[in-house]
Each structure stands twice: as structure tokens, then as C-alpha cells.
């Protein structure tokens, strides 16, 4: 299958991702961005009154609800106001132990699977964070962790709780109930990297759990 811009947008709609979309206008010869207010597999309509077929889209962009860019394709520069993915550098490295992870897996289980966006290149995979405990949990930060020669597991930076809600499609909801989970269809890193998630239970107990990337 050829993954044209229109097919990519339609695929994301089928996945049910909570994203904002823009298309280049005019569709066949894009010269400016217009935000989409209605899109389905039959066509697209923008806030500026433009309408057309998804098959005619040549430039498009999508963003998470926190205004970080999810996808950008075409000859136009990025949509004004959108920003690239960011991470917070820590004052000192965050370290965890295997014992921390074993305890944390009583609260959440992290699993990886195939990337749900077939047009993404190698290194992409899906990640699910599942609450396997008995009380709601909230993720407070997450990151890929590396192992030093000493065996220490650490990271010098972290992604935020608000990024977790945006990337894992939780919207404004902070808490994941028991038996429920959150899913990122297109996580990215090299193989053998530990993706670990720090969180807290409703009762205030902190934990960390994770899984190595495929």
C-alpha cells in the first residue's frame, strides 16, 4: 500500500487518536495551512471553508493537544504555534534498580508491540502502560533509561506527566483506573532500551516500572 497523506490521516482517524490536523491549501498546490474542523474517510473541511477529498491532500500536519508536533509532511514550514517534542534535563541523573522495577510491576505493566503507523521507519514500536493494581494510578514522568557498565540504570532527562497524557491519549484525565491502560502507537528508540514510568497511586505510594524496547 502506498501511504499517501490522505491514507495516513484516514488511518489515524480509524485508530481514534485525539489529534489536531492541518492541511495545505489549496489541497493540490499547498501555499498555506488551514486547520481541519471536520475530517472523515470521505473528505476534509477546514475552518477557512475549504473542502476536498483526502486523496487530494499533498501537505498535512498533526499535533498532540499540548501543541507538540505529531506529524509533518509536505513543502510547507511547520504550522505556527506548534513545537517539536521536548524533554526536561534533570539536575542530577535519575537512577532505578531492578528491585524498584520488580516492585513497580505490581502496579503497572509496560509492554511493547508493533508500531501501529506502518509508514514510520525502523525503531518505532507501540507501548502500552496497563494498571494491574487495585487502585487508580497517575504517571508523573517517563523516559528511556540506559545501563552503565556498573550495572546502574539511569537517565539524564525525563518526559513530563502532561506529555504522557498527550502522547498516550488520556486527554485531561490524570488517573488510570485499575484494569485500564494507556497506549502510544508509535514510540521510538533503539533496541534494548528500558522505557520506565514513574507514578503514584491514589493513596500516594510512588512506584516505577518499565520494559525493554524491542
Mean pLDDT by 10 residues, the chain (214 residues): 91 93 97 94 92 96 97 96 95 95 97 96 94 98 88 92 97 96 96 96 97 95
Pair 141, 96: CB distance under 8 Å: no
Handedness of CA 181, 144, 62, 165 (dihedral sign): positive
| Conformation bin of residue 49: beta by default, left when phi > 0, alpha when psi is -120 to 50 | left
Name residues whose C-beta falls within 8 Å of residue 144's C-beta, 6 or more positions apart in sequence.
Answer: 155, 189, 193, 194, 195, 196, 213
- Look up residue 10 and give its three cell numbers: 484516514
Q: Rounded distance, CA 70 to CA 80, Å?
A: 14
Q: How many residues are present in the chain?
A: 214
Q: Rounded distance, CA 190 to CA 145, Å?
A: 11
Host H or E run for residue 59: none
Pair 50, 39: CB distance under 8 Å: no
Q: State the pLDDT at residue 41.
A: 77
Host H or E run for residue 18: none
Name residues whose C-beta falls within 8 Å of residue 39's C-beta, 6 or more positions apart in sequence.
Answer: 9, 13, 21, 45, 54
Domain(s) of CATH 2.60.40: residues in the chain: 88-212
Architecture of domain 88-212: Sandwich (2.60)
Q: State the pLDDT at residue 48.
A: 96
Q: State the pLDDT at residue 1.
A: 67
Say whether pTM exceeds 0.85: yes
- Look up residue 35 and give its three cell numbers: 486547520
Amino acid at each position: 500500500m502506498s501511504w499517501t497523506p490522505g491514507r495516513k490521516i484516514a488511518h489515524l482517524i480509524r485508530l481514534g487518536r485525539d489529534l489536531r490536523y492541518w492541511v495545505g491549501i489549496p489541497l493540490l498546490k499547498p501555499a498555506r495551512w488551514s486547520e481541519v474542523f471536520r475530517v472523515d474517510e470521505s473528505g476534509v473541511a477546514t475552518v477557512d471553508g475549504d473542502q476536498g477529498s483526502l486523496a487530494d491532500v499533498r501537505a498535512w500536519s498533526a499535533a498532540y493537544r499540548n501543541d507538540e508536533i505529531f506529524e509533518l509532511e509536505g513543502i510547507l514550514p511547520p504550522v505556527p504555534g506548534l513545537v517539536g517534542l521536548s524533554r526536561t534535563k534533570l539536575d542530577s541523573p535519575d537512577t532505578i534498580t531492578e528491585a524498584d522495577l520488580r516492585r513497580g510491576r505490581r502496579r503497572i505493566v509496560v509492554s511493547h508491540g508493533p508500531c501501529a503507523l506502518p509508514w514510520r521507519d525502523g525503531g518505532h514500536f507501540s507501548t502500552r502502560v496497563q494498571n494491574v493494581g487495585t487502585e487508580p494510578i497517575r504517571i508523573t514522568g517517563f523516559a528511556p533509561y540506559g545501563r552503565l557498565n556498573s550495572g546502574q540504570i539511569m537517565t539524564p532527562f525525563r518526559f513530563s506527566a502532561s506529555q504522557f497524557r498527550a502522547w498516550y491519549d488520556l486527554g485531561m484525565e490524570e488517573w488510570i483506573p485499575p484494569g485500564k491502560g494507556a497506549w502510544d502507537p508509535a514510540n521510538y528508540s533503539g533496541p534494548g532500551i528500558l522505557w520506565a514510568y514513574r507514578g503514584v497511586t491514589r493513596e500516594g505510594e510512588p512506584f516505577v516500572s518499565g520494559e525493554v524496547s524491542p
